[in-house]
Structures are given as structure tokens and as C-alpha cells.
Amino acid sequence: MAINYDKLMARKFLDAEQTYTKRDTILYALGLGFGADPVDENQLQYVYEKSLKALPTMAVVLGSPGSWMREDPEVGINYLKVVHGEQSLAVHKPLPAEATVVGHNRIDRIIDKGEGKGAVVYVERKLYDKANGDHLATTMGSIFARADGGFGGPVTQAPALHQMPEGAPDVVCDIATMPRQALIYRLSGDYNPLHSDPAVAKAAGFPVPILHGLCTYGIVGHAVIKSFCGYDASRLTGLQVRFSSPIYPGETIRVEMWKSAGVVSLRAKVLERDLVVLSNGRADIQQ
């Protein structure tokens, strides 16, 4: 079944209300690898309920419409061939350590790259605190549907990518992932078996389950918070990236960063394969 452009663009999502607790906040941070050194107080504030703080990147897993592509075959997307393309986050107010939030989700645009080249679906989410109506964050994620191009959709322009500076990076930060990282991270809401079931991963063309793109995203956020924010996560007010290759749990992520006037340009590599896995990244830092 091919993508039904008009039906997909007109799709209405119910408001996604979600209550998360301090336990969920801690579990998200553990899924990114925080607490690898359990006596590092810089990381402990994100994984211990005493004076607990929420990481800003947790906004990307809150207020989600769920596995709508998998649950609704009429949209015409082969979810087994789907990977995360891009992700952006704008933080308007710091996330509480626990709260009830409401996500307003909508399809922003669909790009038909052509037969055999896939399609890209952009989904915007605005996240609000139910208790007081505060607009906490706005996210935009792109879904690269590798098997679904050539459905006759209009030719539209993809958003411009952040341009990377030339020269050597100002800061390099290595963060090792754990072999079981995806099995922990999935408990924050993304239960796609591509990240846990070896048979599903092989059917999708991967030798083993891959790490969630949003887990890599959060790890890159960790590198920025560590390198430029003194572990004060409230200073990270925006993060946009483009995913270029999957990561296998257990690999080491090297984040290369360039700093300029409140903006950090970044890319990430896997050391074991000398492969760029995330590019055209931009983090906004509050001075």
C-alpha cells in the first residue's frame, strides 16, 4: 500500500496526555547512560530523586502520539523500513521533574523523494504543562520511510540544514554506550522491536538491533551539557540534528563541537567504525 498523501496530511491526532513521575525522569537519564559513574554528583542530580532535575531532551519522548504508523496500516508506511531522519527541540521552559503534560501533534509536511528513494514525514509537537498551561517545548521530528517513495506526492523543499564550520573542533567528548542501552532506553516509551528483537532487526536489514535515534540524540545533548554548560542542563535551550547512520549498542560516540556566540555546532562519530552517525547539529546555549 502506497502513502495516501491527502489522508496523511489531514490526519488528526488526539491530544496526547502523559503523566510522568520522578521515576520516569530517572529512567530516561539512565537510558542515556547518566550515572555511569554513580558517585559523580554532576550526573547524580539527573538520576537521584534528591533535588532531581529533568534533562531538557526528555521533552522529545513526552506527549507522543504513540506507534501510529504501526497501528494504522492505512497511512501506507512500512514501519519496518522507517528510521529517524532529523530531530529538533526548542525549550521554552524547563521541564519539571514530574508533571502531567499534553502533546499537540500534527503532520507538518511530507516529501516524496521518488521511487526507490523513500519519503520523509515531518511531525511537529507542542508540549504543554497541563497544570498551568505553560508551553514547555516544541519539537520537530522527521521520519525517513525508506520503502515508501514514489507515491506521487508534491515536490517540496526540505528545511535547510545547519551549516558546519571548517577546521578542527574546539571540544571533543567521547561517551561510551552499553550493549544493553537500547533495552533500557526503550522503557521511556519507544517499544519498536527494531531496537530489541534480533529477528526484526535482521528483517529490516541490520545485523543486530540498533540504538534508538532519540537515544543518540540525548547522548549528544549530554555531551553539550557536560562540555559547555557545567552540567547545568537548564542552559541547553535548543538542539537540532540530522541522523546519518545507525549506532549499535556498545559502540562509543565521539561528539565533535565548535562554539560560537551561544551556538554549538556539532557532529557525532562512532569510534569503532570511524563513521559519522549524526551531522549538521546545532545546540543553543543560554549564556
Residues annotated as catalytic are 190, 195, 210, 213
Cell 571533543 found at: 172
Report the amino acid identity of residue 41: E
Alpha carbons 269 and 279: distance in angstroms, whole number? 9
- Number of other residues whose CB lies within 10 A of the CB of residue 131: 10
256 grid coordinates: 565533535
Q: Which element (helix H / strand E) includes 47?
A: none
Tell me what percent of the chain is helix, strand and coil, each rounded to the nearest 5: 25, 30, 45
Judging by DSSP bridges, how do beta strands 252-260 and 263-270 pair with one another? antiparallel
Q: Rounded to whole angstroms, how far apart are CA atoms 173 and 135? A: 32
Distances (CA, A) of 110 to 141, 149, 266: 12, 10, 26
Q: What residues are paired with 145 via a beta bridge?
A: 82, 119
